[in-house]
A and B are shown apart, each in its own frame.
Chain A
Amino acid sequence: MLEVNDIVTAYGKIEALKGVSLSVPEGQITVLLGPNGAGKTTTLMSVAGLLKPKRGSVTFEGQDITGRQPGTIVQRGIALVPENRLVFPDMNVHDNLKTGAYVRNDNEIESDIESIYERFPRLKERYHQHAGTLSGGEQQMLAVARALMARPKLMLMDEPSLGLAPMIVEEIFRIIHDLNQEGTSIFLVEQNANMALKIAHQFYLLEQGLVTFSGTPGDMDENEVIQRAYLGTTA
């Protein structure tokens, strides 16, 4: 579904990705693990059109989307749940959801919001509250719901467990699992290797801007995965 072919993405002269290739098959959960600074977020940004790769290509459903505008990419069916959630704090929950549907111009947006509320009753209870007043877990839920408003075929998720209590993390992962069961493909970036491997169909290990391993969760000893995901091979 999503093919990333040998992309190089740089911040000025520093290459954060030094030729990353990976593929996200339709209907699956693909996890990208790796230590801080390995280039995980940069990979997502390069897919979502927020960073332009210097080299290489990104194709989605067989079409080249390298360097396209973020709006075009969302319209094609790729939505992003950003790191740290980034909900709009002074907007109420309802308006936050509407921003997720910004690229759409059909008239089913309000009915989609209703089904979001059925799925996340906590958001319905707080629909008129400013997002900044929600708890961390509720904000994460809102960030996921907001991305769903784009009706994505593929969801990019950047560390959804970051800064959340273990119980909330489990809930978020259950939501991710459910979404996938309903047919949304997931490309998940995580530090929490433990949790991520439980729901992953396949995973990649990214270290210092290069993919150093790819396989299914059973392919590598879990302790080694965890060590490399947190610390990298050099440790």
Chain B
Amino acid sequence: MIDFIQNTLDGITIGAGYALLAIGFTLIFGVLRRLNLAYGPSIMIGVFLGTFIYLHFDAGWLPVAIATVIGAILAGIYVERMCFWAIKEGAALASMVSTFAIWMQLEELVTVIFPERTYKFPTLGEMDYLEFAGLEMRAEHLIMLGIAVLMVGLLHVLLYRTRFGLSVRAVSENPAAARFMGINTGRVIFRAFILASAIGGVAGFLLVATDPTVTPKFGLQATFKGLIAMMLGGMGSIPGAIAGGVLLGIVERHMQAEFGAIMRDMAAYALLFLFLIFRPGGIMAQGVAAREAAALRRV
């Protein structure tokens, strides 16, 4: 029983990282209705910029975190300009395929500059285990959880209390109506991209700092985990992204404890399939997908 609770607790922590990735995915999907597969790889660019700062300047975790976020934002801007701004709306498939091309390009770029297989990344410091009622938690996991909760809180304020947030919600709900109100949708998309990339950068830093090795495969992992978590939760829904991320973290951790590390990723894909078959709208089953279905019914 105590193991079960312990694994669930660990799952929630990792899931918080996945939730941040899924939020980034869902923000971009919300304003664009197009999938950005290069989201993970652009976060990877940030992580490698962080590694670079760490190795060459022996920097502490804070400068590395800042470099990671900046790298992710710059790569995110590059992806937005190439795959979404240059390719006009309506061509959703062309955009998605081009994000795949950019993904390969970014991965190639990193393997050329960083030829070794793995690189080191700073941890959040040497920290103890916290113990409580027979459960234990790594202190950096607790920090990770805290930062994730803080990010979600900030994002909520940004989306529901500011003019920028209003414009993001308007574009996500109905781009045409947003334009009628005089909202410059292109600018909103660009800024939402920067926001999503910054959130992704933080998520990337936290996920790598708690498991301090960096490989070029990080982009693949980030895209898969974020994408699966988003789809579990319901595309375009932020509460869904959080729920999906946490659920994915918990299931992965339990499967790993029961059947070993190989089963961990298998479980993630199996979970996605189960959802796609039995609850295609995701946990929240509203978000963009359900809204579009409802809009079709109204017309």
Cβ-defined contact, B179 with A98, below 8 A: no
Chain A residue contacts of B167, Cβ below 8 A: 99, 102
Contact flag A90-B181 (CB < 8 Å), given A82-B176, A84-B299, A99-B170: no
Once the chains bind, are A73 and B291 in contact (CB under 8 Å)?
no
CB-based nearest B residue for A45: B180
Q: Which residues of B contact A74 (CB under 8 A)?
A: 181-182
With A88-B173, A132-B294 as given contacts, are A146 and B181 in contact (CB-CB < 8 Å)? yes
Query: Counting CB contacts under 8 A, is A59 at the interface?
Result: no
**Cβ–Cβ < 8 Å partners of A150 in chain B:** 181-182
- Whether B183 pairs with A102 at a CB distance below 8 angstroms is yes
Contact with B along A62-105 (1 / 0, CB 8 A): 00000001111111000010101011111100010011101100
A99 surroundings in chain B (CB, below 8 A): 166-167, 170, 177-178, 181, 183
Separation in Å of the A109 CB from the closest CB of chain B?
Answer: 10
Residues of chain B within 8 A of A90, CB atoms compared = 169, 173, 286, 291
Which residues of chain B are within 8 angstroms of A145 by Cβ–Cβ distance? none
Q: Of residues A84, A98, A99, A132, which shows the largest number of chain B Cβ atoms within 10 Å of its Cβ?
A: A99
A70 to B170, CA, bound (A): 15
User: How long is the Cα–Cα vector from A179 to B90 in the complex, in angstroms?
Assistant: 38
A102 in contact with B177 given A69-B184, A73-B182, A89-B291 (CB within 8 Å)? no
B174 in the interface, Cβ–Cβ < 8 Å?
A: yes
Tell me if A226 counts as interface (CB < 8 A to partner B).
Answer: no
Given contacts A98-B166, A102-B182, contact A88 B174 (CB under 8 A): yes
B89 to chain A, nearest CB (A): 14
In the complex, are the beta carbons of B294 and A95 less than 8 A apart? Answer: no
Query: Is the beta-carbon distance between A103 and B182 smaller than 8 angstroms?
Result: yes
Which of B166, B173, B174, B176 is the one whose CB lies under 8 Å from A102? B166
B88 contacts partner chain A, Cβ-Cβ < 8 Å: no
Within 8 A of A (CB), among B145-189: 163, 166-167, 169-170, 173-174, 176-184
Residues of B with C-beta under 8 A to A72:
182
Would you call B170 and A88 a contact (CB within 8 A)? Answer: yes
How many inter-chain residue pairs (CB < 8 Å) link A and B? 67
Q: A84-B299, A102-B166 are in contact. Are A75 and B174 (CB under 8 A)?
A: no
Choose among B182, B294, B295, B299 the residue that contacts A71 (Cβ–Cβ < 8 A).
B182
Q: Is the CB of A100 within 8 A of B184?
A: no
Interface residues of A in 24-61 (CB under 8 A from B): 48, 50
In the bound complex, how far is the Cα of B46 from the Cα of A88, in angstroms? 35
Could you tell me if A86 and B174 are in contact, using CB atoms closer than 8 angstroms? yes
Q: Which of A146-163 contact B (CB under 8 A)?
A: 146, 150
Chain A: CB-nearest residue to B187: A71
When C-beta atoms are compared, the residue in chain A nearest to B287 turns out to be A90
Distance between B167 CB and nearest chain A CB, rounded to angstroms: 7
Given contacts A102-B163, A102-B166, contact A86 B183 (CB under 8 A): no
A residues within 8 A CB of B178?
A: 99
- Min CB distance, B12 to chain A, in Å? 28
**How many Å from the CB of B263 to the closest CB on chain A?**
38
Which B residues from 223 to 255 make CB contacts under 8 A with A?
Answer: none
The residues of B that contact A88 with a CB separation of less than 8 Å are 169-170, 173-174, 177
Find chain B residues with CB under 8 A from A91 CB.
169-170, 173
A141–B286 alpha-carbon span in the complex (Å): 25
A82 x B294 contact (CB < 8 A) = no
**Is the CB–CB distance between B173 and A89 below 8 Å?**
yes
The 8 closest A-B pairs by CB, nearest first: A74-B182, A71-B182, A86-B177, A103-B182, A88-B173, A99-B181, A80-B180, A102-B181
Task: Enumerate 29 A-B pairs (CB-CB under 8 Å) in ascending A order.
Answer: A70-B180, A71-B183, A71-B184, A73-B182, A74-B182, A75-B182, A82-B176, A82-B177, A82-B180, A84-B299, A86-B174, A86-B180, A89-B173, A89-B291, A90-B286, A90-B291, A91-B169, A91-B170, A95-B166, A95-B169, A99-B167, A99-B183, A102-B163, A102-B170, A102-B181, A102-B182, A103-B181, A132-B294, A150-B182
